[in-house]
Structure 1
Amino acid sequence: MNRVEAVIFAASEPVGRETLARIVGKSCSIDLLIDDIREELRGRPYDLVTVAGGWKHLTRPAYADAIRTAVGANERAVDLTQFEVLVLMCIAYFQPITRGELSSFFGKEISRDLIGRLRGAGFIDSGPRSPTPGAPYTYVTTKVFLLQFGLDTLRDLPDFEALEDAGLLSKEKLLAGDIPVGHSDADGDVDPGRE
């Protein structure tokens, strides 16, 4: 158990099941070890979470203000505008998707700069070329996206149809800007809630 926890603690990226199996052997139950570690961490300011296809130590959201006060704002944090978050959300739900398809969805041109900003932040990458004429690039989300938004896989995204049925999401609301996304500052930049 200590070896598993030490490896996860020392890793900069989420540690996958295969790596942990090499450490403890294939006959050992990784899930039971993880459950035991989580139990020992109960009440601690950090936890062992499943994210981006592996496990990672992350601080609990309740301690975010204390951490910000002690070390300042994270210079790696990316302030996204509400529109950038909406484009990222569409890529996550409809990937692989072309820039042209995104433009059609929003009814206005999605700039190369916006795509470049999302790529530069590591949230998206090029997917397979589209089979449409001209074979444009498609875009897909990355492990960085999963990690930053606390998702293990894309299956952890809220069910799109259920959001629509509940009246929480619709194309009309997206385009009208009626969906609150994170906390906006005076410039309209949005913090999508990363801790």
Structure 2
Amino acid sequence: MARRRRADAILDTELAELPLDLRWREWTARIEAVIFAAPGPVDRELLARVVGRDCSIELVIEDIRDALRDRPYELVSVAGGWQLRTRARHAEAICAAYGSAPAPVQLSEAGMLVLACIAYHQPVTRGALSEMIGKAVSRDTIAELRARDFIVAGPRSPQPGAPYTYVTTRAFLVHFGLDTLRDLPDIEALEDAGLLNAAQLIAVGFPSFLTGDADADADALQDPEAGDDE
């Protein structure tokens, strides 16, 4: 903490002595450098540490995106922040260079179905998940998802016994390239990706916006909240 305070004291964020165009260029360079160096998405609060009060971070982000328009990587909105990622069309070149793509996270079919149910219905209890799917959701399946840091325990349910609910995490958003839960794909996209079967999802009572009015029903989605472990 003390080291951070010393760094903040040394760094001139306002750059008041510079002309506006040079000030903007420096702010842009700082924001791009911080995002480039970060191991994950960078939120607005962190970026605000390196620029002045008059800097519009959103406008800087737009400028960086414009500058990268013809580059093999892009600046994307992920999990409430921003991250530099290579463009999907260069995946084959990256695989050829390194021999293989990064190993995808492997989830069982049951795990993927339960994760999808949690994503669209959260916060939701294990008992409610079992009712949706039509068979008991095992503790092993929940443990699999928690081990991947895709879900955590959410608020306790008001039901008798106050069972824990489950919600998705920021790591879930990052892994699936989502900025917020409003970016969850509709049922056709899930099916095209070969992740889940449309008839199966409908059968377990997925929200109507999977096949209908996404904007109206998306308001019911809640942001992930970290909770106590079960």
Same fold (TM over 0.5): yes
Give me the whole-angstrom Cα distance separating, in 1, the residues matched to 2:141 and 2:78. 26
SS in 2 for 1:78: coil
Pick closer, same or farther for the CA change 1:79–1:85 going to 2, 3 Å: same
Give me the whole-angstrom Cα distance separating, in 2, the residues matched to 1:41 and 1:79. 32
Moved segments of 4+, more than 6 Å: none
Give me the whole-angstrom Cα distance separating, in 1, the residues matched to 2:202 and 2:161. 27
Which structure would you say has the larger Rg? 2
Give me the whole-angstrom Cα distance separating, in 2, the residues matched to 1:47 and 1:82. 32
SS in 2 for 1:139: strand
Give me the whole-angstrom Cα distance separating, in 1, the residues matched to 2:160 and 2:75. 46
SS in 1 for 2:65: helix
Give me the whole-angstrom Cα distance separating, in 1, the residues matched to 2:127 and 2:203. 19
Pick closer, same or farther for the CA change 1:130–1:3 going to 2, 3 Å: same
Paired-residue identity, %: 59
Preserved contact between residue 86 and residue 174 of structure 1 (Cα < 8 Å):
no
Please report how far the alpha carbon of residue 56 of structure 1 lies from its aligned counterpart in structure 2 after TM superposition: 0.4
Pick closer, same or farther for the CA change 1:31–1:81 going to 2, 3 Å: same
Give the AA of the match of 2:45.
E
Q: Which residue of 2 aligns with 1:157?
A: 184
Give me the whole-angstrom Cα distance separating, in 2, the residues matched to 1:148 and 1:35. 23
Please report how far the alpha carbon of residue 68 of structure 1 lies from its aligned counterpart in structure 2 after TM superposition: 2.8
Where structure 2 has 5 or more consecutive residues not aligned to the other structure, the ranges are 1-27, 191-197, 207-230
- Out of 38, 62, 65, the residue aligned to residue 38 of structure 1 is 65
Confirm whether residue 136 of structure 1 aligns to residue 167 of structure 2.
Answer: no
Q: Which residue of 1 aligns with 2:102?
A: 74
Give me the whole-angstrom Cα distance separating, in 2, the residues matched to 1:29 and 1:53. 17
Please report how far the alpha carbon of residue 132 of structure 1 lies from its aligned counterpart in structure 2 after TM superposition: 1.0
Q: Which residue of 1 aligns with 2:219?
A: none
SS in 2 for 1:57: strand
- Out of 56, 62, 87, the residue aligned to residue 89 of structure 2 is 62
Confirm whether residue 171 of structure 1 aligns to residue 202 of structure 2.
Answer: yes
Q: Which residue of 1 aligns with 2:8?
A: none
If asked which structure has higher relative contact order (CA below 8 Å, sep 6+), I would say: 1
Preserved contact between residue 36 and residue 84 of structure 2 (Cα < 8 Å):
yes
Preserved contact between residue 98 and residue 138 of structure 1 (Cα < 8 Å):
yes
Give the number of equivalent residue pairs: 168
Preserved contact between residue 127 and residue 139 of structure 1 (Cα < 8 Å):
yes
Q: Which residue of 1 aligns with 2:38?
A: 11
Give me the whole-angstrom Cα distance separating, in 2, the residues matched to 1:128 and 1:61. 37
Between 81-90 and 2-11, the greater mean CA deviation after superposition: 81-90
Give me the whole-angstrom Cα distance separating, in 2, the residues matched to 1:81 and 1:68. 25
Where structure 1 has 5 or more consecutive residues not aligned to the other structure, the ranges are 176-195
TM-score after normalising by structure 1:
0.79
Give the AA of the match of 1:172.
A
Give the AA of the match of 1:4.
I
TM-score after normalising by structure 2:
0.67
